Amino acid sequence: MKTFQLGALKYTVSMVILVFGLASCRQIQNTSPKETQTKAEIYDSYISELHARGQFNGNALIIENGKIVYQGAFGLANYEPIDSLKLNGVFRLGSVSKQFTAMGIMILKEAGKLTYEQDIRAFLPELPYQGITIRHLLNHTSGLPDYSRIMDQHWKNDLAYDDPERFISGNEDVLQMLCEYKPPVHFKPGEKWEYSNTGYNLLATLISRVSAMPFNAFMQEKVFGPAKMSNACVYQYMPGFDDKMPNRVFGFGTKFNGNDKFSTDAHYLNNAKGEGGVYATLEDLTKWDRVLYTDLLVSKQTMEEAFTPGILNNGNRTDYGLGWFISKSPNGKKVVKHKGGWAGFLTNIYREIEEENCIITLTNNNSRYFNIEEGLIDILHNKPPRYPKIFIADVFGKKVQDEGIVAAIAYYKKLKAEQFDNYVFNEYELNFLGYELLEDKKVNEALAVFKLNKEAYPNSANVYDSYGDALLEKGDTVNALINFKKVKALDAEFFGIHEKIEKYASPKNSQ
């Protein structure tokens, strides 16, 4: 199976091997005195090393004590045609967009157009869900299911996910499917915390209805314009170059062989708004960081509530406010932050609001290295930076290309035995690589990788499902069915397994 969810980030897996030693354009801007320039050099050295290791392709900016101390651009903005990243590149923000949607709700609340405690059906009466308030959506405590599963199952699902004929036009299409298929809630509103893209999608729809304006126009007039975020927008996606956004950055990945690239930019849900949909530059996000210390958009009291953890029905606090995760800095002071990941982009904004420090990283190469800010936080606090472990599939895949599957497996086992702490070893790594090999028509190599995964993780239903998929590519339906039945024995609710067994079972091979 090729799709999994990790926290706030959903990955549709097409194996990505990052390019080592990729030629890049690096633009560095140091705007501070000599003492800070030394610090800037430390930031640059760290990010340069990440880029050389294949762990960073993107733009980064660091603010200390309210001042920009470092900016850098590393790698490619697009691969077809080849285009180097520049500091003014406009990135898709993914779930970092949620803080802007929350700001839209806060603006309407201060204008007296709504209250956080109102039932959402006051504005979206067609919804089949009772007792959900605007605050539930803001705090991720609504219990609403992820709309993407319903869309995957029912929205023109005979077409590929990146086929323009499948693209939704906007949020009303999502609302229509929720109303038509009525997927059940996961829990009663306020009972638990569960990250919900559905909730923020509905908030954007609600903003449009309350304001009587398209969501993108409302955000431009009420947020981006006043904050002077000149490149920021809620983008109505179109494939390929758009002369209305000449500095747009495109999502891409690199195959297991370390050379061939592929686009990750197009997805039929790209025009869903609220949970995502915002594009912006480093400069835009710097202005955003600074404006949040003022009362330009909303009062400081309203912002303080945005940075206050939500409360469940039982009185327990969550670690999420209104569009922001909330934690502590190494100094024990308040941090508000958010990550985003979608269609090849991985983004992060980390704000130490009592110290006026901020770290922004924007990447576009389908990266799975989503904790690179940890080393930047170390540098910010004058500590030696931590480097992320290397995903073993990045090394394994290149070895398959250069020396063949037998040598690659031997190398994998050697690294696991001798350098375990330097790499990320888990079942998803081999799963990624196996499917990438399948897509490249290297069926025997994929079977060997999936077999290795079965041996390493014999109690995982997913490894048998993946091995069965590879056997189908080989034309071995008998043994594929055996593996699918093993999946069912381990996890009877595994997604799609009953349909697979029914499809490939027959009197000749049923057991």
**Integer Cα distance of 113 and 187 in angstroms:** 28
Answer for the pair 56, 50: CB distance below 8 angstroms, yes or no. yes
- Please report where in the chains the tokens 């501070």 appear, as a residue: 32
User: Given CA atoms 373, 374, 376, 377 in this order, what sign does their dihedral have?
Assistant: positive
Answer for the pair 162, 266: CB distance below 8 angstroms, yes or no. yes
Closest CA to 364 of 86, 4, 171: 86
Residue 42 C-beta-side C-alpha neighbours within 13 Å: 20
Q: Report the catalytic residues.
A: 95
Structure tokens at 313: 């029905």
User: Residue 11 — left, alpha, or beta (φ > 0 → left; ψ -120 to 50 → alpha)?
Assistant: beta
Structure tokens at 356: 């006026």
**Integer Cα distance of 510 and 78 in angstroms:** 49
Are β-strands 9-12 and 3-6 bridged in parallel, bridged antiparallel, or unpaired? antiparallel
Cα separations (Å) of 382 from 107, 204, 379? 38, 40, 5
Q: Looking at residue 221, what DSSP letter applies?
A: I
Answer for the pair 435, 472: CB distance below 8 angstroms, yes or no. no
Q: In what order do the strands lie in the sheet with 278-280?
A: 91-92, 278-280, 233-234
Residue 378 phi, psi dihedral angles, 5° rounding: -55, -50
**Integer Cα distance of 366 and 266 in angstroms:** 12
Cα separations (Å) of 211 from 98, 118, 205, 225? 18, 16, 10, 17
